[in-house]
A = this chain, B = another copy of it.
Amino acid sequence: MYSPSIERLLTALKKLPGVGAHTAERYIFHWLKSGKREVGELVLALKKLMETVKSCERCWNFSDASPCPICRDAKRDRTTVCVVAEPADLAALERTGAWRGLYHVLRGVIDATEAENLPKLKIKELLARVKTGEGKTKISEVVLALNPDLPGETTMLYLERELKRINPQLIITRLARGLPLGADLRYADDITLGNALSHRITR
């Protein structure tokens, strides 16, 4: 229906998550209207990404340098490591400003429906970090900050067992469960409300 060069770009764009023919069309007609400068900047940014971004050899976050700025930051607490599934989770936690320790990006979670991904997870690397410590500092606490869903819970249970095996004294914690900001008690699900009650905070 479209010209060959438009069809080619449609095919390339439809590989993106959540992008179908309609969204891809909208992007293409946006670029055709916006002109060469915007597309030029996008092409340069894509090339730069592929040339520059690497995995941090310690925390496995994506970064322009390895070790990444967080792992090199002398002001961060090297005795605590927060385990996340994806780089986007790390970014969300960093935005809160509430974490001053280090991170470890698993690059996914244990998922029974995608068993072939299991060897790609950076679990071995996490266990090695806990075993050897961060430079001269020993890791004393690992926060498991995975999503509270089935694959997340499965992964956290597995990690707890393996981490305890390496260091029985290691403190292993999880993110608090309770009511989110702006929640309405009446409409909260039973498990969330139960958690909020049993983990209630003394003031």
Contact = CB atoms under 8 A, between A and B. Distances in A.
Interface string A4-47: 11101101110111100001011111111010101111110111
Contacts of A50: 31, 36, 39-40
A88 B39 contact: no
A94 B6 CA distance: 16
A2 B91 contact: yes
Given A27-B17, A64-B4, A42 B12 contact: yes
A9 B16 CA distance: 15
Contacts of A74: none
A53 interface: yes
A11 B5 CA distance: 25
A2 B12 CA distance: 25
Nearest to A92: B1
Contacts of A69: 3
Interface of A: 1-6, 8-9, 11-13, 15-18, 23, 25-32, 34, 36, 38-43, 45-53, 62-65, 68-69, 86-88, 91, 94-95
